[in-house]
């Protein structure tokens, strides 16, 4: 039952909470000017205000300059909406509707992001939950494989809003100086560099005072003379004799593209492909899909053995939490077994008692499947809690059966009697635990969505174990118990 229903469960780090706020991430092609980006941001902002009547605050920032997103062609936004009980649509419905409509904007890429319930801020981490890192020491190989990986990711029905941090198409101008000709005119490389800096940088050169007011001196040519890239050939540079000549006499200009930034991860050159899980899919599905794409490209010989892969951001948190939770589960089993072995002075009795654990886990998994919940860090914590909660059923039965056997009663009769006598305390304690966890399972209270799986696991596991342990523990006790019957008391012998 654990395998059958567990394999059908979707997995994620934590369920998304409706926090009445979400973010926008906007980007435009490399080389986009600030004015063009500002126009695009205004269009997106107006669309959000028109299509989201639940909005209370809409704040957007162009070229934010923080959180690793300070490029001119980037922007972000923060949207606050009304409280859940004051609107008909959930936060997730609003975000999914916006993402569908944002595809109509051709100038740039925009997507709405919900805040992760559990998120660790990592340096260089992606804003999207699914983050898959391609690594290679050779940048040329990496940039060659990247478009094919992105093409496969964009075709996937599991992923949406696919993006990558490594942009290799940033436009640039490569200026080559004719050193021989420049030297004959008495022009140095520094002279050319300084002339270009004065014309384009917009740097503050000093101040002047006029009519009692102080003004800045800004070094920059007019917009008409810097809109076209090739205009810089006609800027002037001073020769050794003080004459101003056009730069095209000593330089050649070539348009080219290059990466805006080269990223490194684990000391390798890297590209982080990030995405949102599509509607109906979870973070675990997204990670599995990224790994499937990677394996398919390996099988096609597109990716060779020089490549490695890794997870980052929320995806890395998810992978680490899963492995840590499994370790905690195994450790809890081992500790409880050792404590029971010491208490019962037997290695077999603890095994009989702990047979209630797989029964509880089966009930927990079945409950998650029935109620459409995911396997996440909260449901995993609930399963660890079940180890301690349900072993008390076996302890009550086995301990009392051992006590009865000391009077000379057979195993089967002793365990049946123990199950009958301990039925009432087992029912009382199990119902009390299930009732205590019921408010969690019913999602009562604010921001309780993430705690629903925890409540369902506890209620389902305890109740399922309650029913089956009354049958399984006695049967297994009859087969496995090797307890030696102690000598009956003298009074018992006289009576016999």
pLDDT at site 492: 47
DSSP category for residue 30: T
215 plus 298 within the same structural domain: no
350 plus 253 within the same structural domain: no
Query: Which residues is 57 bridged to in the sheet?
Result: 80
Q: Are 74 and 44 in contact (CB under 8 A)?
A: no
Does 49 map to a domain? yes
What are the residues whose beta carbons fall under 8 Å from the beta carbon of 211, sequence distance 6 or more? none
User: How is residue 245 written in tokens?
Assistant: 């000549």
Alpha carbon distance 170, 31 (integer Å): 6
pLDDT at site 361: 93
162-178 burial: b if 16+ Cβ within 10 Å, else e: bbbbbbbebeeeeeebe
Residue 321, judged by CB atoms within 10 A of its CB (0-12, 13-18, 19+), counts as middle
What value, to the nearest 5°, has the Cα angle with vertex 211 and ends 208 and 213? Answer: 55
182 plus 238 within the same structural domain: yes
248 plus 207 within the same structural domain: yes
39 plus 112 within the same structural domain: yes
pLDDT at site 119: 65
pLDDT at site 205: 81
What is the number of structural domains in the chain?
3
Alpha carbon distance 15, 127 (integer Å): 17
Query: Which residues is 207 bridged to in the sheet?
Result: 216
Residue 186 belongs to domain spanning: 170-258
Residue 70, judged by CB atoms within 10 A of its CB (0-12, 13-18, 19+), counts as exposed
> Of 229, 258, 287, which residue is a domain's last?
258
Instruction: Report mean pLDDT in 10-residue bins for the chain, 496 residues.
Output: 73 85 90 88 94 92 61 89 89 91 89 80 64 94 93 93 88 88 90 87 84 86 80 86 88 86 90 91 93 95 93 88 87 93 90 91 92 90 92 91 86 90 92 91 74 92 90 90 58 45
pLDDT at site 270: 93
Does 1 map to a domain? no
> Of 218, 240, 258, which residue is a domain's last?
258
Cite the DSSP H helix spans in 300-376: 313-344, 349-353, 356-370
Does 89 map to a domain? yes
Does 2 map to a domain? no
- 95 to each of 126, 142, 154, 196, 455, how far by Cα in Å? 18, 33, 19, 46, 27
> Of 299, 316, 333, which residue is a domain's last?
316
User: For the domain that residue 177 is a member of, what is the CATH number?
Assistant: 3.30.2090.10
User: For the domain that residue 283 is a member of, what is the CATH number?
Assistant: 3.30.70.1430
* Helices then strands, each counted (H, E), the chain: 15, 15
333 plus 452 within the same structural domain: yes
240 plus 266 within the same structural domain: no
Q: Cα-Cα-Cα-Cα dihedral of 163, 165, 169, 172, to 10°?
A: 150
User: For the domain that residue 411 is a member of, what is the CATH number?
Assistant: 1.20.1640.10
351 plus 449 within the same structural domain: yes
Does 222 map to a domain? yes
Residue 367, judged by CB atoms within 10 A of its CB (0-12, 13-18, 19+), counts as buried
Does 140 map to a domain? yes
Q: What is the DSSP string of 376-413?
A: -HHHHHHHHHHHHHHHHHHHHHHHHHHHHHTTT--HHH
Does 450 map to a domain? yes
160 plus 288 within the same structural domain: yes
360 plus 218 within the same structural domain: no
153 plus 291 within the same structural domain: yes
126 plus 269 within the same structural domain: yes
Does 5 map to a domain? no
């Amino acid at each position: 039952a654990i395998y059958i229903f567990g394999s059908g469960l979707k997995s994620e780090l934590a369920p998304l909470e409706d926090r009445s706020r979400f973010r926008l991430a906007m980007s435009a092609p490399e080389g986009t000017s600030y004015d063009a980006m500002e126009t695009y941001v205004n269009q997106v902002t107006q669309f959000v205000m028109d299509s989201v009547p639940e909005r209370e605050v809409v704040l957007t920032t162009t070229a934010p300059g923080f959180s690793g997103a300070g490029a001119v062609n980037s922007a972000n936004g923060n949207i606050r909406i009304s409280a859940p009980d004051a609107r008909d649509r959930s936060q997730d419905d609003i975000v999914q509707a916006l993402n569908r409509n944002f595809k109509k904007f051709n100038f740039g890429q925009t997507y709405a992001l919900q805040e992760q319930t559990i998120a660790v801020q990592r340096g260089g981490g992606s804003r999207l939950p699914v983050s898959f890192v391609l690594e290679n020491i050779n940048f040329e190989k990496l940039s060659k494989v990247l478009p094919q990986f992105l093409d496969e990711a964009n075709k996937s029905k599991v992923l949406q809003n696919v993006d990558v941090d490594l942009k290799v198409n940033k436009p640039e101008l490569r200026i080559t100086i004719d050193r021989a000709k420049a030297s004959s005119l008495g022009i140095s490389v520094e002279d050319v560099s300084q002339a270009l800096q004065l014309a384009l940088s917009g740097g503050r050169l000093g101040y002047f005072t006029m009519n009692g007011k102080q003004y800045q001196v800004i070094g920059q040519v007019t917009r008409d003379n810097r809109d076209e890239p090739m205009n810089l050939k006609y800027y002037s540079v001073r020769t050794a004799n003080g004459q101003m000549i056009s730069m095209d006499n000593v330089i050649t200009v070539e348009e080219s593209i290059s990466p805006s930034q080269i990223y490194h991860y684990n000391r390798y050159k890297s590209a982080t492909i990030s995405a949102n899980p599509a509607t109906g899919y979870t973070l675990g599905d997204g990670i599995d899909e990224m790994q499937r794409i990677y394996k398919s490209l390996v099988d096609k010989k597109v990716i060779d053995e020089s490549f490695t892969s890794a997870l980052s951001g929320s995806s890395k948190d998810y992978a680490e939490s899963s492995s840590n939770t499994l370790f905690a589960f195994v450790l809890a089993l081992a500790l409880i077994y050792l404590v029971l072995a010491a208490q019962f002075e037997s290695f077999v009795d603890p095994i009989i008692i702990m047979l209630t654990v797989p029964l509880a886990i089966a009930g927990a998994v079945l409950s998650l499947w029935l109620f459409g919940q995911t396997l996440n860090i909260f449901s995993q914590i609930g399963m660890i809690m079940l180890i301690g909660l349900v072993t008390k059923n076996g302890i009550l039965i086995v301990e009392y059966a051992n006590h009865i056997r000391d009077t000379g009663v057979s195993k089967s009769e002793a365990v049946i009697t123990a199950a009958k006598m301990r039925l009432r305390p087992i029912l009382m304690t199990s119902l009390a635990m299930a009732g205590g966890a019921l408010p969690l399972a019913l999602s009562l209270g604010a921001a309780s969505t993430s705690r629903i799986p925890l409540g369902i696991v506890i209620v389902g596991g305890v109740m399922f174990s309650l029913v089956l342990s009354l049958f399984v523990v006695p049967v297994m006790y009859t087969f496995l118990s090797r307890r030696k019957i102690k000598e009956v008391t003298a009074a018992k012998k006289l009576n016999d």
